[in-house]
Structure 1
Amino acid sequence: MMRSLFSAVSGLKAHQTKMDVIGNNIANVNTVAYKSQSVTFGDVYYQTTQVATGPNEASGKGGTNAKQIGLGSTVGAISVDPTAQGASERTDNTWDLMISGDKFFVVSNAGNTYFTRAGDFTTDLDGAIVTQSGANVMGWKADADGNIIKDRVQALYATSPEYTYTAPAATTGVTITGNVDSRETGDIAYTVNFYDSLGNEYQATLNLTYDSKDAAAGTTSYNVVGGSVTMNGQPTELSVSCDSQVVFNTNTGASMVGNAGLALTFTDNSADGSGNIANIGTNNGNTSTINLDASGLTMYAAASNINATMGINGTGAGKAVGKMTSVGVNESGQIVASYSNGDTKKIGQIAVASFTNPSGLEKVGDNLYAATLNSGSFDGIGEDISESSGKITSGYLEMSNVDLADQFTNMITTQRGYQANSRIITVSDTMLEELINLKR
């Protein structure tokens, strides 16, 4: 009689545990990347009142089965699949990241390494990428050339002094295009912009001046006459000149081949050498030169219009100092910074981890998991998600995979199971009461 009481108590405890799990699932229905847990029951120890016997040919008796009385139920397992993909939620926040696939972000909190599917990251005062609870997001840093060094993972930074600027580059070539009016015999002014090696911006004013026609050669020549040179909008004591002429075919107006190989020469006329001539173009001691390609000019009977662009055939344009303007994360988890001078630079890459048995990970709160003896270990280096079928998507979050319909159904069955076990206690108590009343 007493066995049914204790069996029912074990059933109450098991169903209470299941209700606790259901309650936790529903409480986390809107938790980022939360993974629903499930409970399975198992039966427990049996009291054997008669063991099984086999057939006896000598006596002619057949075999009998064992007689066993079960002593209740217990929680067999509380299971979770941390890699079960939840639906995606668009946020348009750069640091909201969603993993597609069976990988985990690697984070470090107070020297301990944890793993998470929740990518609702942010940055702290130092520019470190962190979770909402302050754990550092781990990965690999890039070298000075933007190459990712896949060594042991370390904390990643979106902004820091070493990433704030990119180096400038001196302009080594300038291209001028447009048209020179064949009817014009006066000066045609235009400007040429360029950078020095420190990122200072210069503007040189030049004039294209008609020189002569060579009837025998069928060419028309123009002199390139230098004017003023400014640096960052301020006057300088630099002068500019060009020893070669711009020559056109008199009959067709086309530019002659030699126009592609011109050069501008800059001279520092200051007494103290304050013109920083060594920083401009290609330095030749007291002067510096910048190549000039005028092969794109024409000489037609149309209004003069000369434009100058930095660089020749896509090279040598130079650039100003680049200041970081934005940071983003691509599908490979690479952190890419954009700069005001058009530069882009890889400054790091988010590493991910995978486990032989992800269900063996231990939940430690704050959307974090810890490795256990049954999950497999983390090698300290991590994996590149682009080398698998997964990807990282910026501006999206993985939502909880809790199915409310499933949870409410489980709640009903759990409630009924709990009620049924309580009835066993009630009926057993009534039977005990009847037994006690026999002595009256």
Structure 2
Amino acid sequence: MATFKQIADFDVARFMGDRSGLSKCADGFFRDLFVGHNNAFPDEVMHGAFDWDGEIIYAPCAYEFAFNVWSSIGRFFKHVQSDPGDIDARQATYYVYHCANAAAGNIVFGNNRTVFCAAGHTSTTTRKIFTAKGDRTFDAQHLSVTTDGAVVFKSDQVLYILSCSDNAMTGYVTHTIPLSSGASWFKLLEDKLDNDFSYVAVCETKKSVVTREESGKLWLIGLKTNSVINRLGIDGIQDCSRHPQKPELVVLGQKLTLLSLPDLKTIRSVALPLNNNIKNVHPACAVVACSPAGHHFALANAGSHVEIRNAKTLEMMHALNGRGSPLPDMAWDSTGNYLACRFADRSGQTKTELAVFDIRSQEIVFKTAINNKITENFPSTVFKWSPHATELACLIDNQRIQVYKLA
């Protein structure tokens, strides 16, 4: 049976940048002396989302508008800080919520008012690409970055798309798309081979907690055209996932529905049984994710197990039993043979466990306690697969990153 072994374990909150006024060696010495080996100070808790390209880890700072760059084995590279003159004085917090786009080289980072861009780990040059007007904020928890560097986020009832410009002086061009008052979440639907067929799916509902009987609407927005292409009513809509090889979209709602893109015509639809007669399902408890090859997809739907279903017929192939309730972070490795899922205990999500399923043996081949403190409205990336190998980086206790590889 396949197993995973640990290849790195290091504290990403440990290096303090300019705050301590000490060198890295001196800072580490005093920490070991007064705090304990490899421990961060109490206020150095990383609430934000880290990113990893398989070699370099980008971790947002918990105390200033910056991020730290590490190798996958824990070697510190550099501290990248934004220009203090670019920081909005009205911000309540001066630290980063989010780091993204590691695979493309340009790192997008920011909080709920300002977005910056940095040229990867080879440079400390940063550039401000967006600031919210007045006292407004935007939804930094779900800020997303496409493979070609476009930044997508929602502020009030407007979807913002910051696309890269060919003009080096301009940098980014801002596009705004008005949404309805019921727009609750969005998701990128990228075609990595042809950007002309990349979209953003937006969910419109009357309530943030969706019931299976509640009517909802799916909006399809073109990333190339920056306009609404289509709309479709779907009852109880909770999540969706694009097929990686075909112009198809699987939608989780009152039914499990396979749609064609971009016309949103139904290819196939199957009814989903109610788990313990649960009719009210919070979006955080329902998620669907297609495998890299597109042969099957994983589905969690308010139960205590994860279903693996055939991507063509929508029929269930396996039921993977975890401990507790599945949480929304669910992801496949690059081969499609391993599925990582996070589970919460039944006492209120105070403790969480990360489990990796081997789809071929249908067994858990790796598990570890995560136990990160989740702050409301913060993004929470607690694990990332390497895009090139079956390796997994995990955030432990909001302070440490551990890296595991297939043994």
TM-score of the aligned structures, taking structure 1 as reference length = 0.19
User: Higher strand fraction: Structure 1 or Structure 2?
Assistant: 2
Using CA pairs under 8 Å that are at least 6 residues apart, name the structure with larger relative contact order, 1 or 2: 1
User: Higher helix fraction: Structure 1 or Structure 2?
Assistant: 1
Computing the radius of gyration from Cα coordinates, the structure with the larger value is: 1
